[in-house]
Amino acid sequence: MSVAVRLPVDYAHVSLTQESRRRRLRAIAAVAEVVAVAGAALAVLCAIVGARDYLGTFGGCATGRGEAIRLVRFYTPMLLSLPAAGWVLAQRAGLSVLPCRCCLWAALAAWVTALFITVR
């Protein structure tokens, strides 16, 4: 006499939607980190170039001092939106928040330093 035994096979259930959600969040965090690092690098570079050009000119109308001020007062704050957007994206994904935040703080420090140089 044989008895058929039914065993449940659902013991190792892995939700595919949960795994795909994790993968998507990792991709969003990676994009956020790239955006934050690139934006911070561009903002720091723009602040450095603007401050250097401002200190290298003597004044007057055709010396480039206006362009240096425009770099520091307009373009650098505009570029600061990239690390801020990366931080918001990383916060939404829940990953890579600290590197994005550090990129924003580094870019802000460079901008404030260049702003102190160009403001009299």
Name the residue range of residue 64's domain: 37-118
Q: In 3-state terms, what secondary structure has residue 37?
A: helix
Residue 10 lies in a domain: no
Residue 84 lies in a domain: yes
Residue 56 lies in a domain: yes
Does this model's pTM top 0.75? My answer is: yes
d(CA 55, CA 118): 8
Residue 88 lies in a domain: yes
Residue 27 lies in a domain: no
- For the stretch 3-60, pLDDT in tens is 666 655 555 555 567 778 888 889 999 999 999 999 999 999 999 999 988 888 876 6
d(CA 56, CA 33): 34
Looking at the structure of the chain, the number of domains it has is 1
